[in-house]
Amino acid sequence: MTGAASVSIAFLGTGLMGAPMVRRLLGAGHRVTVWNRASEKAQALAGDGATVAATPAEAGAGAEVVFTMLSDATAVADVLFGSGTVEAISAGAVVVDTSSIAPAQARDHAQRLADRGIAAVDCPVSGGVAGAEAGTLALMAGGAPDVIARIAPVMEPLGRLTHVGPAGAGQVCKLANQQIVAITIGAVAEAMVLVEAGGADRAKFRDAIRGGFAESRILDLHGGRMIARDFTPGGPSRLHLKDLKAVTALADANDLTLPLTKAVSSAFEAFVAAGHGEVDHSGLLLHLESLNPTTDRKDDT
């Protein structure tokens, strides 16, 4: 695989993140066959040049690189091992799982693929839909160095690829990323509640601190969502809660005490339990507002 070569790719899972990633790969000149459980999401990519497959096995047949971008480990295992896909993928191909799943599950999948002569890379991503559209995703790759070097040219249109360790390491880094994102969303949301209670303007507060030590992508994008009160999901809260539960499991397995993660996980659990699982994770603001009625707000003077 070279930067100039057109590679045969199967892409399984063309939802919020998968669809713009497919468009980036097509734009780089690759031949992409797509499949999605909700077929209309795959059909929408035909106009961009993608070939639409009726089954994941049909998509994977003959592909040099097979991407998965699915909701959880159960979905990944079902698509790869329960739908005839692994039997259709040729030995020597590379499966790149860009889904967010537990590290132990990623290692299990890698071993099962290796038993069939198929290489595996766990490569979860960060950057959201905006990063997928712009090709600026952070790509955290776990696997063998030579395999990751082979796929690097294919990954280039998607963002910045970093080899972070052996199988499962990509997922460990994604969990750590999700810790930081969740805690920072919580911090920004709490600040928004405090600012309004103290009588300041939320939008002007955000403008005022831009460029200072509190600057971040979270303040920029998610803080903007909070001000606009636009919680259309880029990252549904139920999926972020899924990742936080995996963080807790990994922490428990290593006898770690992570109080900030525990607090924000509890907040997301309550938010999702209240029926907001499909709300963007920046909508955690709504949970904090529900804990803090708007009456009798004043300055502490």
Residue-wise pLDDT tens digits, 260-283: 999 999 999 999 999 999 999 999
Residue 112 has pLDDT above 90, yes or no: yes
Per-residue confidence (pLDDT) for residue 301, from 0 to 100 = 36
β-pairing verdict for 137-142 and 125-126 = antiparallel
Domains of the chain in start order, with CATH, are: 8-166 (3.40.50.720), 172-291 (1.10.1040.10)
Residue 54 has pLDDT above 90, yes or no: yes
What is the percent of the chain with per-residue pLDDT over 90, rounded to a whole number?
93
Per-residue pLDDT band at 298 (split at 50, 70, 90): low
* Both structure tokens of 231: 């919680």
Residue 43 has pLDDT above 70, yes or no: yes
Per-residue pLDDT band at 234 (split at 50, 70, 90): confident
Question: Residue 68's beta-bridge partner residues?
Answer: 12, 97
186, 17, 72, 270: CA torsion to nearest 10 = 30
- How large is the average pLDDT for residues 46-73? 97
- How large is the average pLDDT for residues 80-96? 97
Task: Determine the longest span between alpha carbons in the chain, in angstroms.
Answer: 71
> Any idea which residues carry the catalytic annotation?
174
Better pLDDT: 162 or 4 = 162
Residue 300 has pLDDT above 50, yes or no: no
β-pairing verdict for 31-35 and 119-122 = unpaired
- How large is the average pLDDT for residues 138-155? 98
Residue 292 has pLDDT above 70, yes or no: yes
Tell me the pTM.
Answer: 0.89
- How large is the average pLDDT for residues 238-249? 94
Residue 4 has pLDDT above 60, yes or no: no
